[in-house]
């Protein structure tokens, strides 16, 4: 399964579980660890766990077992590693604190300036 299809599968699972503020960040060319990062918020630790479980089940149904899952004990920030797609499910206060979107936007901006496309 290509990374774009896998990213769409993760987003659909998060939307189905009523994930909030779902964002997809294209990190190709910025890092070798993934092509996309998908970030979503849950309303509670239970909701975050449920969202992560939906992503895991959707990937398994498509024949892909996650490489790893971290953070299910606490439920404040759960990472589901789907090889070329990293899914972060976070409670809003944790998401605001770490602000991954801004971190990767800065990296993308620097990449654009370095290549002269900005």
CA distance 13 to 60: 12
Q: Could you give all domains of the chain from N- to C-terminal order, each with its CATH number? A: 3-110 (3.30.460.10)
Give the residue-averaged pLDDT of 97-115.
72
**pTM of structure:** 0.88
Detail the DSSP E strand segments found in the chain.
20-26, 36-41, 68-70, 77-82, 85-90
The predicted-structure confidence for 38-86, as pLDDT tens digits, reads as follows 999 999 999 999 999 999 999 999 999 999 999 999 999 999 999 999 9
Please tell me the predicted confidence (pLDDT) of residue 1: 87
Spatial separation of the C-alpha atoms in residues 13 and 59, rounded to whole Å: 9
């Amino acid at each position: 399964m290509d990374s774009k299809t896998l990213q769409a599968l993760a987003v659909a699972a998060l939307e189905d579980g009523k994930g909030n503020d779902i964002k997809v960040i294209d990190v190709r060319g910025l890092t070798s660890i993934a092509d996309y990062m998908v970030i979503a918020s849950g309303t509670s630790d239970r909701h975050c766990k449920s969202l992560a479980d939906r992503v895991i089940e959707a990937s398994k149904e498509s024949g892909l077992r996650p490489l790893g899952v971290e953070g299910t004990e606490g439920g404040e920030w759960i990472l589901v590693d789907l090889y070329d797609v990293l899914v972060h499910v976070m409670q809003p206060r944790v998401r605001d604190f770490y602000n991954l979107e801004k971190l990767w936007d800065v990296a993308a901006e620097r990449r654009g300036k370095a290549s002269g496309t900005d």
